[in-house]
Amino acid sequence: MNQSVPVINCEGCGVCCMTFGHPRYFWTQDQGSMIDQHWIDLPKSMVVEIEAYLETLGGDDDADFGKPCIWFDKVKLNCRHHRHRPQVCRDFEIGGDSCVRLRRQFGIE
């Protein structure tokens, strides 16, 4: 019988961060469009970094969807500012349907 191996942690993965484009503080999976508290608490230097990046998208904040997040460390395969990540990243369920689908899409079983 062909059974999937359960996903138990993010070690050696990071593929969800490979599709987010940038830290998305202005929406969550469950609540649609809203500002999250982690944006309000974000250090000024990170706000400046994200705002400058968003300006390069020409007004379409989804233009980079599907591309690696600007905070993703491709060598260490983790978030450069994990402590400050948006709520939507915190809500992303390890081993959930989206996680498993993305892992398969990127060849991580």
Under the rule (CB under 6 A), what is the footprint of ligand SF4?
Answer: 7, 10, 13-17, 20, 23, 69, 71-72, 79, 85-86, 89, 92, 94, 99, 102-103
Integer CA distances (angstroms), 18 to 23, 47, 70, 81, 89, in order: 11, 21, 9, 15, 12
* CB closer to ligand SF4, 32 vs 93: 93
Residue with tokens 């904040």: 61
Least distance (Å) from ligand SF4 to the CB of residue 29?
A: 12
Contact status, residue 20 vs residue 63, Cβ threshold 8 Å:
no
Least distance (Å) from ligand SF4 to the CB of residue 9?
A: 7
* CB closer to ligand SF4, 46 vs 55: 46
Contact status, residue 95 vs residue 7, Cβ threshold 8 Å:
yes
